[in-house]
């Protein structure tokens, strides 16, 4: 595992310390790792949304679409 030192203004360090204590993290590193993981996930979801927005339109999703899905699931369960 790599190491990274980060300098924070006193106000941000206090905030991190408060979050560590309030949210049950063991260390500030654990808190920061969680923030980075969440940011990675946000970026991944953003990419998926942009890919979807750029994709060709498909058939509308209506009651018939969901009825067909339910029927296919039931057939597989039988």
Is pLDDT at 60 greater than 90 in this prediction? no
Summarize the confidence of residues 28-33 as an average pLDDT: 97
Q: What's the token pair of residue 23?
A: 């949210």
pLDDT category, 59, cuts 50, 70, 90? Answer: confident
Compute the average pLDDT of residues 69-77. Answer: 95
Q: Would the pTM count as exceeding 0.85?
A: no
For 33-53, write each residue's pLDDT tens digit.
Answer: 999 999 999 999 999 999 999
């Amino acid at each position: 595992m790599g190491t990274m030192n980060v300098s924070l203004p006193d106000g941000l360090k206090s905030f991190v310390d408060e979050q560590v204590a309030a949210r049950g993290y063991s260390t500030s590193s654990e808190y920061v790792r969680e923030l980075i993981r969440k940011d990675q996930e946000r970026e991944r979801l953003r990419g998926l949304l942009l890919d979807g927005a750029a994709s060709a339109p498909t058939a509308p999703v209506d009651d018939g679409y969901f009825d067909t899905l339910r029927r296919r699931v039931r057939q597989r369960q039988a």
